[in-house]
Structure 1
Amino acid sequence: MADLFVKQAKQYAKTRPSYPAELFQFIASKAAFHGLAWDVGTGSGQAAQSLAEIYERVVATDTSPTQLGFAPKLPNVRYELTSPVMSWTELEKKIAPESSLDLVTIAQALHWFDLPTFYQQVKWALKKPNGLIAAWCYTVPEVNGLVDSVFRPFYADSDPFWDPARKLVDNEYRGIDFPFEPVEGADSTGPFRFVSERAMTLTEYFTYIRSWSAYQTAKGEGVELLSSNVIEKFERAWNEDGNSPKIVKFPVYLRIGRTGN
């Protein structure tokens, strides 16, 4: 999985949407303690950076040294390069001992994991009761009616070049296995919807698209998704109202649960 993002790691770090503060506030409000958090599949550290403002210590792990090279260096964040298939020994040595984590987070990565094994390790490492696991994904961007009308068929054309796991993201993590108990005040584990917003120029919007694993896969097969014809369509739609940059919205869908006794 990590290999999908190595070639475009710099673009990925620059253009990947940040996550809304409300998301982290919601997670923190459901946590009994804010001591130690593990951010799994941290990539270039977007979630770890936000967690570091709330939790005393954060362990952030990824299987890609290239991605970790772009992560922000913070005094209470420890980055660890881990194996694609983490052993129990590696878990205890690099992450934390049994029943010691207050929170496990997975941002835009849960769909890549061997879930049965991962969940066993999460349940072993989280405190009992009420250790939290929070996993979220963001779906396709929303700009306005004109731009989105160009994006929708463009995204459909990209479908053959996405890994099949992408379908779990398109489905807002509704169909993903998540064997945990609802947090206090909730009658399910979600998904709960949040929205991330950022101002983007059309050039930045294209840079975001070029950071897709599907874009890189298509390019490797000799297919240019952003052909001159497609770019022209986006330019006409983007410039229709004469405003640039534009606010681009990324819907974020959270699954959150807790351990039992």
Structure 2
Amino acid sequence: MTFKDHFSAHAAIYRAARPDYPAALYDFLVDAAPSNERAWDAGCGNGQASVDLAARFREVIATDPSAEQIANAALRPNISYRVEAAEQSSLAAASVDLVCVAQALHWFDLARFHAEVRRVLKPRGVVAFWSYADCRVDEAVDAQKNRLYHDLTGPYWPPERALVDSGYASLPFPFERIPTPGFELHMDWTLDQYLAYLRSWSATQRYIRALDQDPVSLVESDLRVAWGDPHRRRMVHWDFHLHCGRL
């Protein structure tokens, strides 16, 4: 099946520049699942969540329709990467303890994906869909980031980005909800790491392809002034949203 592909062309950049999800999130999920036998990371991209799941589950099936993303995924002995759509997986029925989707649910055909989740989950299996949206450092840095996000790349964001910004609040969730603790997503980054993250945005890459110019370069000098010492590590915080439930 065809899919909306905004990351294959810069899969290596995406892998290197994205924040890590909190360890406490994975600990919570493995405790909630009926067993730690098998997890499915749907829309796994470069396997960022797959690797952390593999430290807690005996087997992880990680799927993504992008062969380029899979080619850039981190390998582990107990991760099986498969190039296939989340809506039509090769998983056996009632074979999975946990289905997770990290920052990818907004690309799916939800009706078909929810049916696939119900097919592959074991009884009382767990689903976890999470996303992160806007990030913050301080007023001066954020002003330049907002200029990039809204003024420069704003027209180049796919319409699905609005779902991420809302924390998936408007999306159906046809599962028995599980109360979740609050998880914080943050990274201690140098300026170069922060700039790499800005360049990994799908809207940044679409801007580059459309105008043959890097929009990050248009704010970089002001960002350097706002950041200060480029080697200084600063805390970058993201708005993090988790939807968790049980079959």
- Identity of counterpart residues, as a percentage? 37
Report if the CA contact (8 A) 2:43-2:85 is conserved.
no
Stretches of structure 2 lacking an aligned partner (at least 5 in a row): none
Name the amino acid aligned to 1:79.
Answer: Y
- In structure 2, distance between residues paired with 1:182 and 1:32: 15
The equivalent position to 1:154 in structure 2, one of 148, 159, 169, is 148
Letter in 2 for 1:165: E
Deviation at residue 242 of structure 1 after TM alignment? 7.5
Query: What letter is aligned with 2:70?
Result: L
Deviations 1:101-139 (A, max 9, x none): 1110100000000000110111011112x1111010111
Alpha carbons of 1:122 and 1:232: their partners in 2 closer, same or farther (altered >3 Å)? same
Query: Displacement of 1:36 after TM fit?
Result: 0.9
- Whether the 8 Å CA contact 2:87–2:112 is kept in 1: the answer is no
User: 5+ residue gaps in structure 1?
Assistant: none
**What does residue 78 of structure 2 align with?**
76
Matches for 1:196-235 after TM superposition, within 5 Å: 196-222=185-211, 224-228=214-218, 230-235=219-224
- Between Structure 1 and Structure 2, which shows a larger proportion of strand residues? 2
Match of 2:232 among 232, 244, 256: 244
Q: SS where residue 142 of structure 2 aligns?
A: helix
- Aligned 8 A contact 2:40 2:62 in 1: yes
Q: Does 1:104 align with 2:95?
A: no
Consecutive aligned runs of 4 or more in structure 1 exceeding 6 Å deviation: none
Alignment of 1:117-136 (within 5 A): 117-128=112-123, 130-136=124-130
Specify the SS of the correspondent of 1:140: strand
Which residue of the other structure, out of 139, 146, 153, is the alignment partner of 1:145? 139
The answer as to 2:215 corresponding to 1:258 is no
Q: CA deviation at 1:195?
A: 1.9
Query: Residues 194 and 251 of structure 1 are in contact (CA less than 8 Å); yes or no, is this contact kept in structure 2?
Result: no
- Give the number of equivalent residue pairs: 243
Q: Displacement, 1:198?
A: 2.1
Q: TM-score, normalised by structure 2?
A: 0.91
1:145 Cα deviation from its structure 2 partner: 2.4
Residues 220-259 of structure 1 show CA distances to partners (whole Å, capped at 9, x for unaligned) of 221542243x2222111111x7861222223321111111
1:173 offset after TM fit, Å?
A: 1.6
Larger mean Cα displacement after TM superposition, 158-167 or 242-251: 242-251
Choose the corresponding residue for 1:17, options 16, 19, 30: 19
